[in-house]
Amino acid sequence: MSFIEYGDTIKDGDTAIVFLGHESMFPVKVQHGTVTQTKYGVIRHSMDLIGKKYGSKVTCSKGGWVFILHPTPELWTMNLPHRTQILYSTDISIITMMLELKPGSIVCESGTGSGSLSHALIRTVAPTGHLYTVEFHQQRAEKAREEFREHGVEHLVTVTNQDVCKNGFGVSNIADAVFLDIPSPWEAIGHAKAALKAEGGRICSFSPCIEQVQRTCLAMEEYGFTEINTLEILLRVYNVRTISLQIPDLGKAAEDNSSAGFDSSNPSNQGSPCTNLQQGAVQFKSGVPQREMVGHTGYLTFATKSLF
């Protein structure tokens, strides 16, 4: 396995994802001789994991079972240990596309944070690209380096421990794209421009507050960036449920036995998805939105650096 390439069987040293059911999962470092506790019992790495195919069902000691999944940046994002607030796949997706990232791209990122976006960027630029990521917090920078090593991607990424607003990304005129997720991005726009290739590139800044966005857009304009565009993207999830609605009792008309208007026993009512469960209820399938949803993560501002 690797975060940048699929493997078929679980090996010693892999990072695997243990899936317990409905949005319940956690990462595990596969190691000979170790065990992992789950609510369904114990998983013995040597017996139950190593050599098994990814996607297999593993029965735990108490009889319950789990699935072992191959890691992907998306699964990692959902399960990584948070050192900071992270970016989720919804934002990561649009960032990747709008920055025009692909294999071979050179990307600069700051701050590294918990490495959620970093893993996704590395995946996209592999095998010939590179990620230069800057983090001003020493321990976070070190933890990120450690994780990249463990995940077998250290050759695709360089972690620098410095303040991007003061010292930039440590490279100049080589990046196809720059990403900023820092408190004062307007202070790093100049450095971002310097890191980008002479013939141009793309930039993205992520900020939770509109005031930050305003300052950043102004700075982008001052530094000659074009095509400045701010947007936000939100995910709406639907739960698929079979819903049963009762037919209200409207009493009976004097003469006839059937109720006027809506006839619940007529299957042609309401179209195909409805079936009559029992007298007095209609069933249908629905995509029900969640009670609460993420209403805001941050504003994404994109722009282009060009020669002209």
Partner 1 sequence: PLPSAPRCHGAVRAAATRMRSRAAEGARRSASGAGSGREEEEEEEEAVMAAGHGPRICEGECAVLKRGDVFKAVAVLRRRKIIFEKQWFYLDNAIGHVYGTTFEVTSGGNLQPRREVEETTTETKEAGTDNRNIVDDGKSQKLTHDDIKALKDKGIKGQEIVQQLIKNSTTFRDKTEFAQDKYIKKKKKKYDAVITIVKPSTRILSTMYYAREPGKINHLRYDTLAQMLTLGNIRAGNKMIVMETCAGLVVGAVMERMGGYGSIIQMYPGGGPVRAATSCFGFPKHFFSNLHEFPLSKVDSLLSGMFSTEMLPSEFEDNALVEEESNGLADEKQTSVQETEEESITATAMEVNQTEEQEKMDINAEDIEFKDNKEKDNKENVREKQRKQWERRKKLIEAAALLTEKNADGLIVASKFHPTPLLLSLLEFVAPSRPFVVYCQYKEPLLECYTKLRERGGVINLKLSETWLRNYQVLPDRSHPKLTMSGGGGYLLSGITVVLDKGKSDSSNLEALKMEEPSSKRCKVQDLQC
Which residue type does 98 have? M
CB-wise, 141 or 213, nearer to partner 1?
A: 213
Residue 69: burial class (beta carbons within 10 Å; 0-12, 13-18, 19+): middle
Shorter beta-carbon distance to partner 1: residue 93 or 270: 93
- Among 238, 174, 209, 190, which residue's Cα sits nearest to residue 301? 209
Return the residue of 48, 54, 107, 297 that touches partner 1, per CB under 8 A.
Answer: 54
- Report the residue number, 127 or 267, with the smaller CB distance to partner 1: 127
Candidates 137-145, 182-190, 255-263, 300-308: pick the segment binding partner 1 (CB under 8 A).
300-308
Phi-psi region of 63 (alpha: psi -120 to 50; beta: other; left: phi over 0): left
Give the helix/strand (H/E) hosting 300.
strand 299-306
**Residue owning tokens 């001052």:** 222
Window contacting partner 1 (CB under 8 A); options: 30-38, 62-70, 131-139, 157-165: 62-70
Of 134 and 175, CB closest to partner 1: 175
Q: Which of 23, 249, 255, 292 binds partner 1 (CB under 8 A)?
A: 23
Kindly state the smallest distance separating residue 163's Cβ from partner 1, in Å: 26
- Print the binding letters for residues 86-125 with partner 1: x by CB under 8 A, - otherwise: ---xx-xxx-xxx-x-xxx---------------x--xx-
Q: Tell me if 281 sits within 8 A of 247, measured CB to CB.
A: yes
Residue pair 262/281 in contact (Cβ under 8 Å)? The answer is: no
Distances (CA, A) of 234 to 51, 88, 166, 225: 40, 10, 33, 26
Q: Which of 132, 97, 99 is nearest to 305 (CA)?
A: 99
Contact between 5 and partner 1 by CB under 8 A: the answer reads yes
Which member of 72, 79, 84, 184 binds partner 1 (CB under 8 A)? Answer: 72
**Pick from 48, 64, 61, 60: which is nearest to 16 by CA?**
48
Cβ 242 to partner 1, closest distance in Å?
A: 8
261 among annotated binding-site residues: no
In the complex with partner 1, the residue whose CB is nearer, 42 or 231, is 231
Written as six digits, the tokens of 303 are: 């722009």
Q: Restricting to residues 197-256, name those near partner 1 by CB under 8 A.
A: 197-200, 210, 213-214, 217-218, 228-241, 243-246
Bridge partners of 83, per DSSP, are none
Nearest approach, Cβ of residue 134 and partner 1 (Å): 23
Binding residue positions for S-adenosyl-L-methionine: 114-117, 135, 163, 181
